[in-house]
C-alpha cells in the first residue's frame, strides 16, 4: 500500500465517521428484525425512529465533511481508494487505542 501523509484532521474526521456508524449499527441492532416489522409482528417506537434518524443524519453529515476535506484533492489520481484505506486503518488504530484507555464502566 502506498503511504499517504494524511493530516490529523482527516484521521479525526474518519474516527468520528466510524464512531457515528457504530452508533447507527448499535441502534439498529436494538430494533426488531425488519421482517417482523414488515409482517406487522413488531413496531418501532417514535423515540426509536427519532434516535435512529438523528444518528443516521449525523453519520451522513460526518461522511460528507470527511469526503469534502481539501486534502483529498492532493491525493494522486487513481490513489483515492488506497488513501481512504490508509486513513481508515489509521482511524481504526486510533479508535482501538482510545477504547483501550477508556475506563471500565462501573458496576461490572
- Is the residue at 1 inside a domain? no
Domain boundaries, position 25: 8-98
Q: pLDDT tens-digit profile of 57-89?
A: 999 999 999 999 999 999 999 999 999 999 999
What is the rounded distance in angstroms from the CA atom of residue 91 to the CA atom of residue 83?
12
pTM for this model (two decimals)? 0.86
Domain membership flag for residue 22? yes
Q: Give CA–CA dist 97/108, Å, rounded.
A: 21
Inside any domain, residue 3: no
Query: Would you state the cell numbers that stand for residue 104, as one nine-digit string?
Result: 471500565
Asked if residue 82 is part of any domain, the answer here is yes
Per the structure, how many domains does the chain have?
Answer: 1
pLDDT of residue 2: 58
**Domain membership flag for residue 103:** no
Residue 107 falls within a domain, yes or no? Answer: no
The pLDDT value given to residue 106: 75
Task: With respect to residue 106, please indicate whether it lies within any of the assigned structural domains.
Answer: no
In a domain, 2, yes or no: no
CA separation for the pair 61, 24 (Å, rounded): 13
> What's the pLDDT band for 102 if we cut at 50, 70, 90?
confident
Amino acid at each position: 500500500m502506498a503511504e499517504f501523509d494524511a493530516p490529523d484532521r482527516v484521521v479525526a474526521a474518519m474516527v468520528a465517521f466510524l464512531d457515528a456508524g457504530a452508533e447507527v449499527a448499535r441502534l439498529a441492532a436494538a430494533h426488531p428484525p425488519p421482517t417482523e416489522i414488515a409482517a406487522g409482528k413488531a413496531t418501532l417506537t417514535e423515540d426509536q425512529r427519532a434516535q435512529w434518524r438523528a444518528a443516521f443524519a449525523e453519520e451522513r453529515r460526518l461522511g460528507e465533511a470527511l469526503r469534502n476535506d481539501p486534502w483529498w484533492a492532493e491525493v494522486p489520481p487513481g490513489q483515492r481508494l488506497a488513501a481512504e484505506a490508509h486513513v481508515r486503518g489509521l482511524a481504526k488504530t486510533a479508535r482501538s487505542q482510545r477504547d483501550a484507555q477508556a475506563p471500565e464502566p462501573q458496576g461490572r
